[in-house]
Amino acid sequence: MQLILKEDIENLGFKDDIVTVKNGYGRNYLIPNGKAVLATKVELKVLKENLKQKAFKEKKVIDEAKALADKISKLKIKIPSKIGSGDKLFGSVTNGHLAELISSNGIEIDKKHITLPGKNIKRLGNYEATIRVHREISFKFPFDIVAEKK
């Protein structure tokens, strides 16, 4: 089933994306909650016209997103965490922790735009998160998880 998204949906797509989903997910969740509409010929025409009008405004937004990506990629983040035996962590590090640390450096980013390898991390080491600041702009962000000093 092809749908046009009316808002950003995590792990699916951004507003005005055309996505293919299973029938049940589309009919029972996305359409009734107003998060998407069926991709009919009429809706696709309307979407095409809207995207054409947005293209001019979009350039400015993309430039701002690139600047934000550059600012974030210059950061060096080390996440201190309590450890148990070996290099195992007490608890885990999630995208929320990373978003909080980036925000503490004065750059606001929502945790839903950060994807960690394996959803959460339970060991010390160097990792790379994927941060998506715009529909067309995503980048790899390296960070370290280090032992908390006692």
CATH of the domain at 17: 3.40.5.10
Q: How far apart are CA 57 and CA 62, in angstroms?
A: 9
pTM, whole model, 2 decimals? 0.65
Same domain, 54 and 8: yes
The answer to whether the beta carbons of residues 99 and 114 sit under 8 Å apart is: yes
H-type alpha helices, 74-110: 95-104
The contacts of residue 26 (CB under 8 Å, 6+ apart) are: 1, 3, 36, 38
Same domain, 77 and 58: no
Same domain, 52 and 88: no
pLDDT digits (tens, 9 = 90+) for 81-135: 888 877 788 888 888 888 888 888 888 888 888 888 888 888 888 999 998 888 7
Which comes out higher in pLDDT, residue 24 or 69? 24
Report residue 59's pLDDT band, with 50, 70 and 90 as the boundaries.
confident
pLDDT digits (tens, 9 = 90+) for 61-73: 888 888 888 888 8
Note down the domain range covering 19. Answer: 2-62
Which of 62, 96, 114 marks a domain boundary? 62
Same domain, 104 and 57: no
CATH number at residue 76: 3.10.430.100
Same domain, 58 and 83: no
H-type alpha helices, 11-40: 23-25
Domain count, the chain: 2
